[in-house]
Chain A
Amino acid sequence: MDIELMINSFPKLLNAAVVTLKLLSVSLIVGLFIGLLFAILRLSKNVFINKFAYGYSYVFRGTPLLVQIFIIYFGLGQIESLRTSFLWVILKEPYWCAIIAFALNTGAYTSEILRSAFQTIKPGIIEAGQSLGISTKIIFYKIQIPIAIRQSLPAYGNEIILMLKGTSLASTVTLMDLTGVAKYIISTTFKPIEVFVVAGGIYLFITFIIHNIIKYLEKRYSF
């Protein structure tokens, strides 16, 4: 064990963890909106809307994240007409390609988490609202959504942690996130164990923080 290398690489890796956290937070925020939208679409009685939403979550949950990010980054980059379109401004950047892939992926899982949370809401709660003369819209926004979010907290906490680890794939499309910088250091020192142990420790620490935030929220909003 080269302790000196571990100490020297720590600040560099910590810096890179900022990139990882940026990737994670942006894709989680975008993914949450996508997830909420598609969860609502899944509850639709219209067969086409319902099937479309189901198809989205089926495709993105049924394929590896690495494949998705490669298709978006290297795959779309091969299409000539896309390269000359305005979309290329975004797709040219590995950062946005990674965000798109991560957001679509976590969006698919989030939509499933929220859908099942919506479906577990007891009809009695909605009926109670109706009997008080509250409009369907208000019931949905003020009763169903808050309950669904609370119900899905434990599962969503899991999803955040899975996504954190998923961001390590950003290094495959040239981004210098925590894993990317770790690989870079290894490429000049040829000592993978030391560097990956430090990088793994940082991931573990971030997970620890996320886990405790979710635990706090669960307690705070329990009923």
Chain B
Amino acid sequence: MMNIFKKTIFSVLLSLLVIGNVNADKIRIGTEGAYPPWNSKDESGKLIGFEVELAYTLCRYIGQQCTIVEQDWDGMIPALIMRKFDAIMAGMSITAERQKAISFSQGYADEVASLAVMKGSSLEGLDTPAGINLTKPNAAAKKALKTLTAALAGKTVCVQTATIHQNFLDSGDVGKVNVRTYKTQDEVNLDLASGRCDAALAAAVAFSDYAEKSGKPVVLTGPTFSGGAFGNGVGVGIRKDDTELLKKFNAAINKARKNGDISRIATKWFGFDASM
């Protein structure tokens, strides 16, 4: 009897060891699952979206298995540093601020940010160009920032916490606005619809996705933003000491881009080619 008992324990321990080894070979990728169409969840709670599909594609090119791990946005970078997973694919833009803490692969997709308001808001139809680049703002971009500063004075603008959108509002480029920060984009959308926010700032696709799914009259206003505080596209976040993995991801992105995989997946989820 004792012998069987010992054997059982031994085999259980052995299998744990084997499972542990299998997991060690897997690349763990962290994503938020709450930022459609980049990454989100379906009704059954399964992670879906552009980056989930792209992650599996990249892993095929790398030749390693992947597991996708869900992580709240505000703890994303700390969780990577603490080795809860090995890479971030969560619509995370490459910014100088984040690069102080982690490395990024080359960008795989780009998004433009935009302000959104409810239909009928006084902020609708601002007299600005269609899009401005903040890396080296030209005269038109500077004028647009002035228009925005005047329009947003004293208004409450809502953003998700720890995002490029929050960084931009905090930078003072559009003067002193009341910035309200939320844990998720879903909550930003809810408070925009309820009227607690005069405007919200996020990826333009996040708002069009919400407007389409909820049927709420959310409209974009002002210019679309890129460059500067908005970073240089979205890349894979990787720990600084993990140079081996960084090389693998960069190579995989090159292959996936050349074969048209990124464009195809981006068009499927965004409705347009957001790849870069």
Identify the A interface with B (CB < 8 A).
74, 77-78, 83, 88, 92, 94, 172, 174, 183-184, 186-188, 190-192
Q: Is the CB of B191 within 8 A of A184?
A: no
Q: Is the CB of B187 within 8 A of A190?
A: no
Known contacts A77-B194, A174-B181, A174-B182; A187/B166 CB under 8 A: yes
A78 and B190 contact, CB distance less than 8 A: yes
Cross-interface CB contact of B181 among A77, A184, A192, cutoff 8 Å: A184
- Indicate whether B180 reaches chain A with its CB closer than 8 angstroms: yes
Chain B residues near A186 (CB, 8 Å)?
Answer: 74, 78, 162
Task: Pull 25 A–B residue pairs with CB atoms less than 8 Å apart, ordered by A.
Answer: A74-B190, A74-B191, A74-B194, A77-B190, A77-B191, A83-B194, A88-B195, A92-B196, A94-B180, A94-B196, A172-B183, A174-B181, A174-B182, A174-B191, A184-B181, A186-B78, A187-B74, A187-B161, A187-B166, A187-B181, A188-B97, A188-B162, A190-B81, A191-B78, A192-B78
- State which of A78, A187, A188 has its C-beta within 8 Å of the C-beta of B194: A78
> Please, how many angstroms separate the alpha-carbon atoms of A174 and B166 in the complex?
13
Q: Which of B162, B167, B196 contacts A77 (CB 8 A)?
A: B196
Enumerate chain A residues within 8 angstroms of B194, measured Cβ to Cβ: 74, 77-78, 83
**Cα separation A70 to B191 with both chains bound (whole Å):** 12
Taking CB atoms, residues of chain B closer than 8 Å to A172 are: 183
- For window 53-111 of B, CB contacts with A under 8 Å fall at 74-75, 77-78, 81, 97-98, 101-102
- Contact status A190-B77, CB under 8 Å: yes
Contact indicator A192/B183 (Cβ below 8 Å): no
Give CA–CA (A174, B162) in the complex, Å.
Answer: 13
Contacts of A192 in B (CB 8 A): 75, 78
- Chain A residue at minimum C-beta to C-beta distance from B170: A188
Contact A190–B101 (Cβ < 8 Å): yes
Residues from chain B with a CB closer than 8 A to the CB of A188 are 97, 162, 167
* Min CB–CB distance B257 → chain A (angstroms): 29
Q: Chain B, 170-183, contact with A by CB distance < 8 Å: what is the 0/1 string?
A: 00000000001111
In the A-B complex, the 8 residue pairs with the smallest Cβ-Cβ separation, listed nearest first, are A187-B162, A77-B194, A190-B77, A190-B101, A174-B180, A192-B78, A187-B161, A74-B190
Chain B nearest CB from A55 CB (Å) reads: 28
Interface residues of B in 180-220 (CB under 8 A from A): 180-183, 187, 190-191, 194-196
Complex interface: chain B residues within 8 A of A94 (CB): 180, 196
Of the candidates A74, A92, A187, A191, which one forms a contact with B195 in the assembled complex, judged by CB atoms under 8 Å apart?
Answer: A92
Max count, chain B CB within 10 A of own CB: residue among A94, A186, A190: A190
Q: What B residues does A77 contact at CB under 8 A?
A: 190-191, 194, 196
Known: A92-B195, A192-B75. A183 touches B81 (CB 8 A): no
Known interface pairs A184-B161, A184-B181. Does A190 touch B191 (Cβ–Cβ under 8 Å)? Answer: no
Question: CA A78 – CA B195 in complex, angstroms?
Answer: 10
Beyond A94-B180, A190-B77, 7 extra complex contacts between A and B, CB < 8 Å:
A74-B190, A83-B195, A174-B158, A174-B191, A186-B74, A187-B161, A188-B162
Closest beta carbon of chain B to A7's beta carbon, Å: 19
Closest chain A residue to B162, Cβ basis: A187
Chain B contacts for A184, CB-based, 8 A: 161, 181
A contact residues around B101 at 8 Å (CB): 190
Chain B residues with CB under 8 A of A74 = 187, 190-191, 194
Give A126 Cβ to nearest chain B Cβ, in Å.
51
Bound: A78/B97 CA distance, A = 36
Interface string of B220-241 (1 = CB under 8 A from A): 0000000000000000000000
